Every structure is written in structure tokens, then in C-alpha cells.
Structure 1
Amino acid sequence: MLETSTRMSTVIPDRLWSELTEALILLLFDAAYILVAIFMIYKLWRMNRVKQPVTPSGQSGTNKSFLLFKKSLFASDCMIMWVYAFIKAIWLLQFEWKYGSVMCKLYRFTSSVAFFSNSNIVCGIALDRYLSVYSNHIIGVRQHERTKRLLYLVWIIAIIAALPQLIVWETYRPSSEDWEQCVTVFAIEIHELPAESARRDKFNFYSMLYEAYHQCMAFWLPLSITFCSYARMMSRLIPFWPFSALNSYEDERQETLCTIFWGKITDRIRTFVCVTIFRRKSHTSQQSASVPLAGTTRHPPTTALRRQLGTTVFKNACAIIFVHVVLWLPYNILSLSRFVNEGFYESISQNGGNLFELLILLNSFINPILYSGGSNTVNRV
């Protein structure tokens, strides 16, 4: 997925068993994904047509923000399965690149956009949940517009980050025979330089640096942002344990303050303080917390925080992010091993290590199961 160099020899190498196995599995994945895509397109179409009830404030209860994430993630999954995986399967079966230099560049560029956007969208989902907590769970037009801007940014970053692929990848014939491959300019330079040339170390360094950039943009940087978002979000939600939804802001104020400050006081004193004093004060706070905003609904601050963990969107977001990290991690850890011991990396890759990449494709199969649920009702935001 993220390799930035291809080892070449002066003769045509033997086909590896893992390459043929990978090609056959990729074709099976692509064929099966047709059914998944048909189901998902129908599901998204149904979600788009659902008419939501109108709240007493006069605005629709629909929150289509998460639906935008679903559509973008589905588009990214389709690019991974039908651009990257399908063309790679044909490439492995033919055992050479037969489509010219322009297609080599476009294939690598489009594949990188697919992987970058996939990780970025998952990161965007985490940021969206984080912003929902820290903006007191604003629902409506503003949240929808914020999500659209976030997704525009996600795709723009993916496209810009993938632009170097148009320069780095070239077609090359490493042997005297009529056998061509799509490889990086770093691999070409290293192959053509004499074994004793000092410039080989320089191009090896450039190759490693470029691969580090790719791995960072495709997985490690989005993972770091996702982790930080959830860590910050949970640090704000945990003080309000247990995370049960409350009926009113008054009850919430009573529960949280009493738990923290009056936990060791007798029941009689706690009842007097909470019911007699806090209920009166909370009315003023509630009035100031519910100032209407154009096109939005704002819940009281801690009500929004505590509602987060019980919503369908929050649960779906957690499931998507968790599965993404679990299935992408093995291949990316294997890729990191190249920076520690390149000999180990080459040995593992040639003996089936690259099959870890299939876990990433499996993620594209599981994603529709995770994000096809829910109906975006007002209680599921």
C-alpha cells in the first residue's frame, strides 16, 4: 500500500507464492464487494429519503451530519476496493506493468488519495464527536455546515498529500528483457548506481524519508489526532459518571454537584440542600443556557456531555474508529519495521507479510456493516 521503493535485479525475478495468493484474494474481494456496494447504495438512498419529525422549536430533528461522513467513507472504501485492489490484482497476475508511465502515476496517485482520505475521514469522525462535546452539542444547520467544511478539508488534504506520487513514480525496465515495472525514482537511481557509489546512501535516505512521510499521512498522524480527540473528550465526560440521560437540567445539576460535594453528608441534609437550594438556582442557569441560535438547538452543557455516550452516532463512531485502528495497525507496524531492520522487513514481506494488507481491505468490507445502521432521528445525534 505505502511502499515507496521496489527492489530490482538485472534479471526478471521469480513470482512469489504470496503475490499469486494476494491477487486471487483481491479479485474475490472485488467481486463480493459489488453486493456490498449495491446494499450500501440502497441503504444510503433510504436514509436520504427519511423525513424526520419537527421539534417544538420549529426546526427539523434531522441531523444529517453523520450521514455525510457515511457517504464519504463509502466513496473512499469504493476507491480502495475498485481502484487500488482491482488494478493491483491484475498487475500481480500479469507480473508486470503494461499500462504506461501516465497510468502508473495516476494509479499511485488515486490509490494514495483513497487511503489518505479513508484515514482522514475516520479522524474527522473523531474530531466531529469532540467538537460536539465542546460546543455543547449544537444540533442543526451549524453542525451540518461544520461537517461539510470538515469533509472538504479531509479530501483536500488527501489530494494535496498524494500529489508527490505524480512525480515519484515512473515505469522502468530493470533488465535487458522486455519487462516493465511501475517503481519509484529512488529505486531507479539506486538500481543504476554502482554498488560502491556513495550516492546510493543518499537515495536510500530519500526513499526512507518519503516512506516515513507516506506512513505518517496514511495512518500515524490521523491516529494521533483521533487518539487525542477521544482522550480530551473522555476527560470531560468521565467526571459525569454514570452516563445516564437525565430528564432535566435541574436534576442534572442536583446529581453532579451532590455527587461531588455532598457525597458524605447524611441523606436528610443532602435532600435539603439539593432540592431546596439547587433547584431554585438551576432555573436561572437553565434559562441562560437555552438561548436560541439561528438554525440550531443548544442543550445545557453537561446534559450534552452526558447524552453523548448513549447516542447511536457516538456508538457507531466508536465502532468505526476501533475497527479501523485494529485492522490497519498490523500492516503499518510491519512497515515501521523497515526503519529498524530492513533485512527483516524484506524477509517478512517476501514470505507473506504483505498479506497483512488484506486486513485493510477487510476494513472496507466491515465498514458498511458499521455505518449502515441508524436512522438519524432526533434522539440519535
Structure 2
Amino acid sequence: MFGRRMEDLTNSTIPDEPPTPLFSDYIEIGYLGVVLMFGVPANMVILQKLIRELKMCNRDMVKSGFVMLKINLNITDLLILTYALGKLIWLTTYQWIGGEIACRFYQMFSMFSLYSSSNIVMCIALDRLRNVIYANQIHTKTNKISPVTVLAYSSWIAAFFCSLPQFFLFQTVEVYPNFVQCSDVWQITRHSTVEVKMFHNDSFILSQTFENTYNITHLIIVFWGPLIVLIVTYAVIATKLMKYSLRAPGTQSIRRPMPTAADDSPKDIIVHVNVEDGLLKKEGSLKKVVRCCAEEMITKQSRKKSNRRNGGKESTTTTSSTSTRMPTWRKQMRSRVFRTTMLVILTHFLFWFPYNALGLMKYINQGMFEVLSANANIFKDLQILITLINPFLYGFTTGN
């Protein structure tokens, strides 16, 4: 599952001539060409759009944090497209023409792009959880490093270290005269007499046990581990939203003396504040209360003036003394940000699940794995197709 499986390395009987492209290879070449043709321009346009959007976020931490994560996800999509370009060249030449160092770096880079994409999607879910839990707090930028920045940097660093072993586990091998391929050390050990360059022949790293452990660890880190995090995260989010929904929207009255325009004597004005929003728990909330009071006072003054114009008759228009505000958690749930997050995560799961399920099937049901492995390239290419879909999910839309 690491790199392209060469028929000449996996067959028990090696043919006398180098293999030639199959019909399915030509289909894959056309598929990758179409994805690159539309995916690269779309992602470049969206990247520029997101950078402009980030500059206009001002001090809104919630919106700027989500835009920053979308930029990071957009960059990972461009990295996956770069990996797809390398695969397209490899399929076209049908042998590895880049040399030893390029072979190692390409395999490391391919895993780095996948790890970083999966990590950023996980960060998006964690950011949604953070905003739901702390929905009643003010989300304004400060001079401190934001949690989103920490998540993004951690994702890239983790992706680099997780992909680093690829550099040591791949090398070139001359299968036929003037026909070179880039393959992992386990394939070379099993199907070739070429000596592995990085390890001794009796090294534990070349054993079947280490290969299985490495492959399973890769599957857990790149997909199944993040999937568990996504499930737990949205289970907590759903629990929080249900808890908020079942809670009765309580209000409390605050009595503040405010001078009226008619005289300087203080009069009591009742202002109703939704307790769920935590309005009075935040710094600067007194300004909001005063503003509410001022609006109430202006409304009463307008009503008095209207009564005087109507000859002292009471106006038929009544004004409610209760200032109702939609709870912040409900705004979060109904926002475009929340819906976009769900679509990005769901798409990631649907397009990444087949190939990673196939990789896990190898260690659960070998017979089923052999049946499904004929479609391995199709399943893997679904992970590349997501780079063409993501821009339409988070880029070509407006609103919050």
C-alpha cells in the first residue's frame, strides 16, 4: 500500500521483458489529468479568496480561526495535487526516472500530504467543539497565540514526523536492464536479489512483523485514529446542543437608574437579559446593558411624542420590554460555518474510507482483501478526487 505495486515484483514468475501499461493505467492517467486540470486552478483561486477573507475578519476570532483552517486545508489539497502530478508522470513513463533521492522524497512527500490533510480535518472538528463549549465567551483576537494557530502548527509538525520513515523505507531497484522502479524495502527483500541499502539483511525492520506493525500504525494515524477523534468530538457537540435545547431559556431582570430626557431624576428601567448567552458574565457587559437601556428609553420617548401628536391618545403600538436574543450556541448550530464543517468532515470520511478499509481488510480477512485489491488504485484515487470537491464546499460560498 506504500507506492505503486509493480507486477514484476509481486508475481512469483518474473517475465523476460519489462511490463507495459494496462488499459486501466490509461484510464487512471486520464482521470488524474482531469483532476489536475480543474483542481489546481480551483484551489489556487480559492486560496487567494481565503487570504483576502482572512484580512477582512478584523478581530472576530471565531471567523478568522475557521478561515485560517480552511487555508490550511486548501494548502493540503494543493500538496495532494502535487503528489497526483508525480503519480501521473510515473504512470506515463511506467518506470521511475527520478533517481534514488527523488524516490525517497516523493514517497515521504506523498505520506506528508495525506497526514497533513487528515490532521487539518481533525483540527476543524476540534475547533468546532471549542466554539460550542465556549460559545458564551467573547471571541475577539488578542495578542496571545490563538488555539487555532497552535492546532495548525501541531498538525504540520506531526505530519512531517509521521511521514519521515518513508524516506528510509523506499529505494530504487533495477528490475530489468534500464528499467528502474521505486519500491519499499519489504517488496525488494521478498522479490529481488538487490541488497537493501539502509538496513542489513538480518535487520528486524525487514521482517514481516515490523512491516505489518508499520502498516497498521500508518492506517491508525492517517485515518482510523482521526476518525475516532471526529466521532467523539461530534458526539460531545451533539450532547452539548441537546443539553442547551432542553434547558429552558431563562431570563433575569436588571434594574438600572437612567436619567430621562425630560428631567434629571433617575428612573428605573427593566432590562431582560437571556441568561444562556452569559451576557452579564463577560467583561464589558455593562456597556451592553446600558445600550439596551438607552434603546428602551428612546423607544419610550418616541412613544410619548407620538401620544402627544395624537392628542394625548395612547398609541396602539406596543413595545415589548424584553430584549430577546438568539442564544450563541443556536447561532453556531445554524451558521454556515457549522454546516460547512460538517460537509468537509463527511466528504473526507466518504472518500477516504474505501482505501483505508481495504488496507485494514488485509489483516482481518485475507481472502476478501485479495478480491478487493484489484480495485486498490480506484480506492486510492478517491483521496485525490476530494481536492476537486473541497473548494466547492468551503470556497465558492459566502456567509457565516
TM over 0.5, shorter chain: yes
TM-score (norm 1): 0.75
Distance 1:315 1:284 in 2: 22
Query: Which one of the candidate residues 27, 30, 34 is aligned to 2:40?
Result: 34
Gaps of 5+ in 1: 53-58, 244-250, 256-278, 294-301
* Other-structure match for 1:353: 376
1:374 shift after superposition: 5.4
Distance 2:245 2:396 in 1: 27
Distance 2:106 2:205 in 1: 28
Distance 1:352 1:60 in 2: 46
* Other-structure match for 1:146: 147
Matches within 5 A, 1:234-245: 234-241=238-245
Whether the 8 Å CA contact 1:105–1:165 is kept in 2: the answer is yes
Distance 1:202 1:165 in 2: 14
* Residues 37-88 of structure 1 deviation map (CA, whole Å, 9 limit, x = unaligned): 3431342244245366xxxxxx66883111101110110000101x211110
RMSD: 3.5
* Other-structure match for 1:289: 281
Please tell me the residue identity of whatever aligns with 2:384.
Answer: L
Of 134-143 and 182-191, deviating more is: 134-143
Matches within 5 A, 1:188-227: 188-192=188-192, 203-227=207-231
1:90 shift after superposition: 1.0
* Other-structure match for 2:387: 364
1:365 shift after superposition: 0.8
Matches within 5 A, 1:186-335: 186-192=186-192, 203-241=207-245, 252-253=249-250, 286=278, 288-292=280-284, 303-335=327-359
Distance 1:254 1:70 in 2: 37
* Other-structure match for 1:72: 72
1:345 shift after superposition: 3.0
* Other-structure match for 2:25: 19
Greater strand percent: which structure?
Answer: 2
1:162 shift after superposition: 0.6
Whether the 8 Å CA contact 1:63–1:140 is kept in 2: the answer is no
* Other-structure match for 2:115: 116
* Residues 179-229 of structure 1 deviation map (CA, whole Å, 9 limit, x = unaligned): 111111111122247xxx999997233222221122112111111111111
State how many pairs are aligned: 328
Please tell me the residue identity of whatever aligns with 1:339.
Answer: Y
1:154 shift after superposition: 0.8
Whether the 8 Å CA contact 1:4–1:210 is kept in 2: the answer is no
Gaps of 5+ in 2: 194-200, 253-270, 286-325
* Other-structure match for 1:101: 100
* Residues 204-259 of structure 1 deviation map (CA, whole Å, 9 limit, x = unaligned): 3322222112211211111111111111111111123379xxxxxxx82269xxxx
Greater relative contact order, per chain length (Cα 8 Å cut-off, separation 6+): 1
CA separation of 1:60 and 1:363: change in aligned 2, threshold 3 A: closer
* Other-structure match for 2:124: 125
Q: Secondary structure at the match of 1:252?
A: coil
* Other-structure match for 2:86: 87
1:316 shift after superposition: 1.0
* Residues 278-305 of structure 1 deviation map (CA, whole Å, 9 limit, x = unaligned): x999779956522359xxxxxxxx9333
Percent of aligned pairs sharing the same letter: 26
Distance 2:64 2:203 in 1: 55
TM-score (norm 2): 0.72
Distance 1:283 1:75 in 2: 41
Please tell me the residue identity of whatever aligns with 1:41.
Answer: L
CA separation of 1:238 and 1:93: change in aligned 2, threshold 3 A: same
Please tell me the residue identity of whatever aligns with 1:361.
Answer: I
Whether the 8 Å CA contact 2:95–2:179 is kept in 1: the answer is yes
Please tell me the residue identity of whatever aligns with 1:353.
Answer: A
List structure 1 runs of 4+ shifted beyond 4 angstroms. Answer: 1-7, 59-62, 197-202, 279-288, 373-376
Please tell me the residue identity of whatever aligns with 1:336.
Answer: L
Please tell me the residue identity of whatever aligns with 2:249.
Answer: E
Whether the 8 Å CA contact 2:116–2:156 is kept in 1: the answer is yes
* Other-structure match for 1:184: 184
Distance 1:284 1:14 in 2: 67
Larger radius of gyration: 2
Whether the 8 Å CA contact 1:65–1:144 is kept in 2: the answer is no
Whether the 8 Å CA contact 1:171–1:180 is kept in 2: the answer is yes
1:343 shift after superposition: 5.2
* Other-structure match for 2:159: 158
CA separation of 1:342 and 1:29: change in aligned 2, threshold 3 A: same
1:21 shift after superposition: 1.6
Matches within 5 A, 1:54-73: 63-73=63-73
Q: Secondary structure at the match of 1:339?
A: coil
Whether the 8 Å CA contact 2:136–2:276 is kept in 1: the answer is no
* Residues 101-120 of structure 1 deviation map (CA, whole Å, 9 limit, x = unaligned): 10011111111111101011
CA separation of 1:51 and 1:228: change in aligned 2, threshold 3 A: closer
Distance 1:220 1:283 in 2: 40
CA separation of 1:287 and 1:94: change in aligned 2, threshold 3 A: closer
1:14 shift after superposition: 4.8
CA separation of 1:115 and 1:292: change in aligned 2, threshold 3 A: farther
Of 281-290 and 203-212, deviating more is: 281-290
